[in-house]
Chains A and B, each alone.
Chain A
Amino acid sequence: MNTIVCIKRVPDSATRIRIAAGGRHIDPSGVKYVVNPYDEFALEEAIRRREAAGGGTVTAISVGPPEAAEALRTALATGADEAVLLVSEATHDGRAVARALADEIGGREFDLLLFGKQAIDDDNMQVPQMVAEFLGLPCATVVVALDIEDGHAVARREVEGGHEVVEFDLPGVVSAQKGLNEPRYPSLKGIMAAKKKPLDEKPVTLAEPALELVSLEEPPAPSQGRIVGEGPDAVPELVSALREEARVL
């Protein structure tokens, strides 16, 4: 079972986002970067598949600046066998990233291509489907359970108020949602072993963005709220405020 897992380095979800001068990027100072949380489910799934099959390789691939190598090292320490960093400038453009990934992955042999369902920085939620289309492969998104037998996959997808079961033949693309598994953390032994695993860095030139990022702003400050009162005695005033002032009841 050979799998490829796409990994993105993103700011930690507990990070406060500040906009850098120029208004088109975030200010990276003081930002803690991590492996995109949804990619951890994808990586875990790939490692489990290899373990269950008793063989095969897990290849982690990322598109990003040289610093993204750090996220790939984490993937190697967690259990990936090899990694490839497609070194490029940072971009907000999902299509350009998908194209670069498809170009790299198209020349490889694999059974399963895994992604996190979305990266928590751009929140584009489009790269897995786009790569699948560029490669002409079946694709199941937002997957919370995956069964594979004899080259046939059955996946459960999260949809509004329930789940959808989809089936397809491998090779195929799956984007992982929280709940797919419980990701492991890198062990000390894994961290040591990762230093000897191959991490290939290849410069790539991304396609021109299809969308121009005009500006990036902080959201408007929340309207100044008020404490209506304390305890259950405040309830009548709260209800009348919601009805007459806010008009939402």
Chain B
Amino acid sequence: MPDVLAYAEVRDGTAGKAAREVTGLARSMADALGGEAHVIAVGGTGTADAVAGLSGLGAARILVAEAPGLEPDSPDVAAATVAARVSAGGYAAVLFPASARGKDLAPRVAARLDRGLATEIVAWELSDGALAVRRPMFAGKAIATLRFEDAPALMTVRANVFTPESRDGAGRVERIEPVGEPRIRVTAVEQSERDRLDVSEATIIVSGGRGMQDPANWHLLEDLVAALGDEATLGASRAVVDAGWRPHGEQVGQTGKTVSPDLYFAVGISGAIQHLAGMRTAKVIVAINRDADAPIFSVADYGVVGDLFEIVPRLAEAIREARREE
């Protein structure tokens, strides 16, 4: 049973980055195990159309439980349907994205199957035929290596870590029946900040801290985000969230979100331990701070010391210029 199953999350009618990343990882794992990558999606009308393209990332089977009443779908039906499939399918591993949806759903499936679950994995390997994964603990202050004692190995996969490759998996949509009764009902979805990505999804994050001095100054960071494009979003330190300057959804750190973007700008953030824990796995870190001794510079790849109110507008301008030249 060397096959690997990926839960394809469909949001706003599309199988986005979360679905693509777990599909790509399922294919890599299945290749190492000598099996196939399968995807499973559970949702309302249009779910099958949304996930059909995942065959292009190596999915050999695309299992879709689609019913009109499942939009917006209850996690209970998704959990029961995925668990039923895993029980029947004999999978070596089952992958979920570490999105809001995946983090809510995966433990429900694990409990129904009475299996363990490794959350937010950032690396994996096969050793003596067993799957081992690496995951941060203490918000990244420590990295644990965990070995699954037996199959299926259930895990959620941190965003922005595994890049899917184009592969022809030749998978076609196969209909399966949704099972289970909803215990909770989703009655509304309020998208408050749709103009920007969530910090857990963005590949570029511009975070502001106390050095911004006043919430009214955030237009500087908003402008830098705009210059960086659609893949960029705003983040915040705990200090400015606690002060009520920014919403909690933007908080990066141990009591906020742990992020791994390609590029992280820390603007006016001194770098408390709990903040560093949340962003130190960013691939490239830029710190802009007046205080040359600020701890943030110890984790930064590039630092600029000085007045952020002068530096940030100049930076936004320079990035726009560079983009125009391309």
Contact = CB atoms under 8 A, between A and B. Distances in A.
Interface of A: 11, 13-17, 19, 26, 37-38, 92-95, 98, 120-130, 132-134, 137-142, 144, 154, 157-168, 172, 177-179, 209-219, 222-223, 225-232, 234-236, 238-239, 241-243, 246, 248-249
Interface stretch (B107-115, B160-168, B208-216): B107-115
Given A166-B185, A168-B185, A217-B142, 13 more contacts: A92-B144, A120-B255, A121-B137, A154-B187, A158-B100, A164-B189, A213-B146, A214-B147, A227-B303, A229-B304, A232-B314, A234-B306, A235-B315
B315 A14 contact: no
B232 to A, nearest CB: 11
Contact of B191 (A161, A165, A236, A249): A161
A239 B144 CA distance: 35
A123 B141 contact: no
Contact of B111 (A133, A209, A226, A238): A133
A11 B184 CA distance: 33
B13 interface: no
Given A13-B254, A167-B184, A231-B307, A212 B301 contact: no
Interface string B301-326: 11111110011001100110010000
A37 to B, nearest CB: 5
B116 A209 contact: yes
Interface in B22-55: none
Tell me if B's interface is mostly helix, strand, loop or mixed. Answer: mixed
A214 B304 contact: no
A123 B307 contact: no
Tell me if A's interface is mostly helix, strand, loop or mixed. Answer: mixed
Contacts of B277: 13
A235 B187 contact: no
10 contacts: A13-B277, A15-B273, A120-B254, A125-B103, A130-B110, A166-B184, A210-B148, A225-B285, A226-B301, A228-B302
A246 B111 contact: no
A231 B106 CA distance: 47
Contacts of A230: 304-306
B318 A236 contact: yes
Given A120-B138, A213-B146, A214-B146, A14 B273 contact: yes
A235 B314 contact: yes
B315 A239 contact: yes
Nearest to B200: A160
Contacts of B111: 95, 98, 129-130, 132-134
Most buried by A among B106, B110, B137, B193: B137
B217 interface: no
A128 B103 CA distance: 11
Contacts of A213: 144-146
A17 B120 contact: no
A222 B17 CA distance: 27
Given A141-B104, A209-B116, A228 B304 contact: yes
Contacts of A165: 186-190
Interface in B106-138: 106-108, 110-112, 114-120, 132, 135-138
Most buried by A among B100, B191, B201, B305: B100
B91 interface: no
B14 interface: no
Contacts of B188: 164-165
Contact of B119 (A13, A124, A138, A218): A124
Contacts of A161: 191-194, 196-198, 249
Given A164-B72, A178-B248, A234 B311 contact: yes
Contacts of B201: 160
